[in-house]
Structure 1
Amino acid sequence: MNAVIPQPGRQDAAAPGPGPHAKGPWRIHAADDRLTAMAGTVRTLLEPHLGNRTDTPAATLTLALDETLGPHGRTVGVAPCGAAEPVDESYRLTVTGSGITCLAATPTGVFRAVATALQLIATSTGPIPCQELCDAPRFAWRGLLIDPARHHLTPGEVRRVIDLAALYKLNVLHLHLTDNEGWRLEIPGTPGLTAAGPDGSPRGFYTAEDYRALQRYAAERFVTVVPEIDLPGHCATLREALPGLPDAPAPEGLKGRFPYVPPLDLADPGTREAVASVLADVCRLTDGPFVHVGGDEAVGATPDSFAHAIRELRSLVRESGKRPLAWQESSRAGIGPDDIAQYWVDVPMMDLPDTPEELAGRPELLAAGHTPELIAALKRFFAPSDHDLSRVLEGGGRVLLSPQSHLYLDRAYAPEVVPPAQAPTAARVGFPAYRPHGVRHTAAWDPASHAIPDDRVAGVEATVFGESVEGFDDVTVLLLPRLPSVAAAAWAGRAPRWDDHRVRVARHARLWQQRGLTYLASTEIPWDEPDSDGARAQPPPGRTPGRTSPSGPPDTDA
């Protein structure tokens, strides 16, 4: 079997006989001048997966366009690149004895075929069987949110995440750039946002050129960057940079009961002017068509103040020529056909106990300091979320599916699936208020379970927030091995078959190790069992990955 994730929709046996050897050498050939630049990107992505074999003839990875090819399936949702209709990402990949051909009607489709080819090469230990694979995505928007606001990730680390996303055919990187803990994007008109801290210590952030370079890097891999400036709540860093901004009007009786950062009051002219300047700079720096304005968890704002803030934020983004999207709470400000709401929570999804006795059986909540009073307050605060989805649908908006129950990958792993050697790490990472689960739980998510009509789904997006993150390895431990399960559901529009999927995931340990990515070796996955080809999932230690090859001519030996 091949170990491609997402599993291709159609697989046909080609002429009998072994295909090219996985460990090269490989020659990358662009059969069309429009794919010349892509060939250099492909060579860079492939480099960590090549061994040093010299006893096999060079095989060719061919990139080719055929505009007469029709789509292999129906794609629904919003195109993150801004196209009016979903881009044709369907492809045909053929393995013969001399190499692999990636064929599609569009460059985007060719690159999706390339991701399949690189997985075949990275997960195989011997010759790749001759075969033909055809596939197309179900959802046009397939995203991943990362959270440099709470723990800064260097530009190099973000590039490694972009590569990982591209290898699993994800096409959106959502950057949660601002929160109470940090502001990570240089705003030329408001330099105080990234100035040194009160003690003089430097803050990690992306300069305007860093941000432009990350967007170029992502675009070369057919990934669109969507920045998030999270307002009107989650605004402590903005308040620190611009002291004196008035608080939003608070609901009666809330002040002093629970600690929170007061949301911004967008009805205040000075606040609106400051936010307008920030968003204008963000929109000017952003190549893609979307800017996310947050809108979640505005604890301490009245419904009227919150609704006004959301309407102002949307308007400011549109005035700068971009399309706004926001978390599901934004639906309470009204919503129309041009609006996208990111659906992440309702009270049942929060899985909170109803009684003190039930709380006593939830050690993760007790460790996080939850009390019966706090849980009751959380349920009251999040009660409106039970109706957000219906508000979006009734208003004609689109839903971006990010349910906390399965797609929040900052969830801790269940202790029973953690190998002993990784128990200290697993006990430390993950948001403490979520019930821990294993990989199978994530893989069981079915997009259709939300019963949303096709024409109202924007797409699918996983998240990995950074409350517990102390370094890049923590990010990859939270992502892997769960991210491929989300990618499979987002591409195919349904949950993968677990018995087959877990075997495919096991083979991807090679890919992650070759790229120097740390992962959680969940006991749910048969890492050490031979597959149908007799190969074992765990490879010997590979060479240090992460090196990039300079771009060169399209025909070259890799």
Structure 2
Amino acid sequence: MQTTPQSPALLPRPQHLTTGDGELVLDAGTRVAAPDELSDVLALLQAALRPATGLPLREGGDDAAIRLALDADLGPEAYTLSTGPDGAVVRGGDRAGVFYGCQALLQLLPPTVHRRAAVTGERWALPAVEVRDAPRFGWRGVMLDVARHFMPKHDVLRFIDLMAMHRLNTLHWHLTEDQGWRIEIRKYPRLTEVGAWRRETQVGASEESPSDGRPHGGYYTQDDVREVVAYAAARGITVVPEIETPGHVQAALAAYPELGVTGEQLDVFTRWGIDPNVLNMEESTVDFFTDVLDEVMELFPSTFIGIGGDECPRDQWRTDPRTQERMRELGVEREADLQTWFMRRLDDHLTARGRRSFGWDEILEGELAPTATVASWRGMAGAVTAARRGHDVVACPDDLVYLDYRQSEMPNEPIPVATPLTVEDVYTSFEPVPPQLSPEEARHVLGGQANIWTEHADSPRTVDYLVFPRLCAVAEVLWADGERDLDDFQRRLDAHLERLDAVGVEYRRDSGPLPWQERPGVVGRPMSHEERAAHIAELVESISTP
């Protein structure tokens, strides 16, 4: 698609856009219409348009100026949008496609359409355009960590709205960690009674960083989860839950010490980094987590269920006599194979119920079930290995889409972590399909996602700062096909930031953090690219060592 400075600033960029003459002016007499099967999408469009415009936008029949329709000739999530003086029509290959067409329609209007109260003095006119569009990838995601710092349900719903605005369709919800267990499991109530709360939190990224002395916690009831899942589904978003195993589990061990190797009573972890405490490999522990997964599957209709598998230290297994005996019972020679055995048991449980396991690329260190799907985070090596073994892949390399990474070399970046990652870096360098894959292997790349870890994001305002506008670049990479034009993207992003302003997103300005977005005196962990590469290599070696 070739755009001009006069073209509408649609983001993500559509496959095809042409402009025409004239416009459709919305007024008090404008009516909208959709078939019954799209009534919920129509209601969402009315809810988006009414607050700022103050227009009733009542449903009409033959006199409707804005129409929604399904079109069997369009593919999944594909849409067309046609606007002109005689009206506007959004057609989609499915319900999601119609919804995305409505998002594009909203972007044709002034940015103030995103405000939640009547805006005076604005002219609500849709320019004449023809848009034909479809996504490049089926997995266009964001991983949101609510375990390190709890995000209240209201803010999760807001984040889903922002995902929908950018045509992202997968929320990977990281629900459990060393520092907190965030989902109610009725069979094991202590997971939230005990595991959802910690007495204090480390402030800063160094081993010497102090703690704040302030209790922190929270969790989602099963009714909360059902609400989040339904809210997301109405906006074309699938929620993929993650229950972390067999490492990153100290919150669960605090609630049920018998799950651990030592059996000793632990507190919910209050520090960052890799915790040495891991699950034991008893059959009772497998049963515990399959019970947990059963309740998770009742709540989440997603085909994919995350079971973690990353950063699991094996020191306790090596030094524990019972674990060594257990390895002999199972015929397992290496601790790495013990982890593989555990992950495979969970995978088999999910597979038997028609679901698919989803884990971090460390799970490639053992034999996987054919349906297991890999999140490649330690660069793209995991994506290559998984695809060549015949496993589906979600690309999320840390150096390009970890949105907790610092955004510049500026000394006032708040709690700077790892290497600098700019909007330009994401847009120009993130490519989900490794070039060394054959066409057949490349078909295993489902898409990609950005990952948002929240050790140093203790509020939704900080999440805003870390995520936007870099997530705008991720969204376009995952949606749009063809060559990338950074200048054109920047033109459209500049206009799009006015929409984020209207929504109330406290994004990072190109000039750097605003004074209140800084964290003076709080130590980070900045790295050069060479230091990061060495750190990843060290991590790979430490996790992989038998």
Q: 1:91–1:110: 8 Å Cα contact kept in structure 2?
A: yes
Aligned to 1:397: 391
How many Å separate the matches in 1 of 2:414 and 2:279? 36
1:237 to 2:251 alignment = yes
How many Å separate the matches in 2 of 1:320 and 1:202? 35
Amino acid at match of 1:8: P
2:278 aligned counterpart, secondary structure: coil
Q: How do 1:17-416 residues align onto structure 2 when only pairs under 5 Å count?
A: 17-20=22-25, 27=30, 29-47=32-50, 50-51=52-53, 60-67=65-72, 69-71=73-75, 88-123=76-111, 127-196=125-194, 197=197, 203-247=217-261, 260-266=275-281, 268-300=282-314, 302-346=335-379, 386=381, 388-416=382-410
Aligned to 2:414: 427
Q: Judging changes above 3 Å, is the alpha-carbon distance between structure 1 residues 282 and 342 closer, same or farther for their aligned structure 2 residues?
A: same
Q: How do 1:536-555 residues align onto structure 2 when only pairs under 5 Å count?
A: none
Q: Judging changes above 3 Å, is the alpha-carbon distance between structure 1 residues 90 and 468 closer, same or farther for their aligned structure 2 residues?
A: same
Q: Deviations over 1:316-338 (max 9, x none)?
A: 22244422111111122213542
Q: 2:408–2:422: 8 Å Cα contact kept in structure 1?
A: yes
1:36 aligned counterpart, secondary structure: helix
- CA deviation after TM superposition for structure 1 residue 289, in Å: 2.0
Q: Judging changes above 3 Å, is the alpha-carbon distance between structure 1 residues 201 and 66 closer, same or farther for their aligned structure 2 residues?
A: same
1:239 aligned counterpart, secondary structure: helix
1:64 aligned counterpart, secondary structure: strand
Q: Judging changes above 3 Å, is the alpha-carbon distance between structure 1 residues 259 and 161 closer, same or farther for their aligned structure 2 residues?
A: closer
Amino acid at match of 1:166: A
Q: Judging changes above 3 Å, is the alpha-carbon distance between structure 1 residues 494 and 477 closer, same or farther for their aligned structure 2 residues?
A: farther
1:447 to 2:441 alignment = no
TM-score, normalised to structure 2, is 0.75
Q: 2:347–2:369: 8 Å Cα contact kept in structure 1?
A: no
How many Å separate the matches in 2 of 1:472 and 1:147? 12
How many Å separate the matches in 2 of 1:495 and 1:460? 18
How many Å separate the matches in 2 of 1:152 and 1:239? 19
1:479 to 2:477 alignment = no
Amino acid at match of 2:42: A
1:5 to 2:11 alignment = yes
- Where structure 2 has 5 or more consecutive residues not aligned to the other structure, the ranges are 1-6, 57-62, 113-121, 200-213, 263-272, 318-334, 513-546
- CA deviation after TM superposition for structure 1 residue 171, in Å: 0.7
Q: Judging changes above 3 Å, is the alpha-carbon distance between structure 1 residues 394 and 441 closer, same or farther for their aligned structure 2 residues?
A: closer
How many Å separate the matches in 1 of 2:399 and 2:216? 36
How many Å separate the matches in 2 of 1:294 and 1:259? 14
Q: Deviations over 1:493-552 (max 9, x none)?
A: 46731101011111112211221211111149xxxxxxxxxxxxxxxxxxxxxxxxxxxx
How many Å separate the matches in 2 of 1:446 and 1:397? 18
Amino acid at match of 1:240: A
Q: Judging changes above 3 Å, is the alpha-carbon distance between structure 1 residues 459 and 486 closer, same or farther for their aligned structure 2 residues?
A: same
RCO higher in structure (CA 8 A, sep ≥6): 1
Taking only the aligned residue pairs, the percentage that are identical comes to 29
- CA deviation after TM superposition for structure 1 residue 155, in Å: 1.1
How many Å separate the matches in 2 of 1:468 and 1:17? 49
Aligned to 1:84: none
Q: Judging changes above 3 Å, is the alpha-carbon distance between structure 1 residues 503 and 198 closer, same or farther for their aligned structure 2 residues?
A: closer
Q: Judging changes above 3 Å, is the alpha-carbon distance between structure 1 residues 122 and 331 closer, same or farther for their aligned structure 2 residues?
A: farther
CA RMSD of aligned residues (A): 2.8
Q: 1:236–1:261: 8 Å Cα contact kept in structure 2?
A: no
How many Å separate the matches in 1 of 2:241 and 2:358? 10
How many Å separate the matches in 2 of 1:442 and 1:311? 34
How many Å separate the matches in 2 of 1:98 and 1:143? 37
Amino acid at match of 1:9: Q
Q: Judging changes above 3 Å, is the alpha-carbon distance between structure 1 residues 202 and 409 closer, same or farther for their aligned structure 2 residues?
A: closer
How many Å separate the matches in 2 of 1:26 and 1:515? 27
- Where structure 1 has 5 or more consecutive residues not aligned to the other structure, the ranges are 72-87, 249-257, 350-385, 417-422, 525-558
How many Å separate the matches in 2 of 1:98 and 1:473? 42
Amino acid at match of 1:283: M
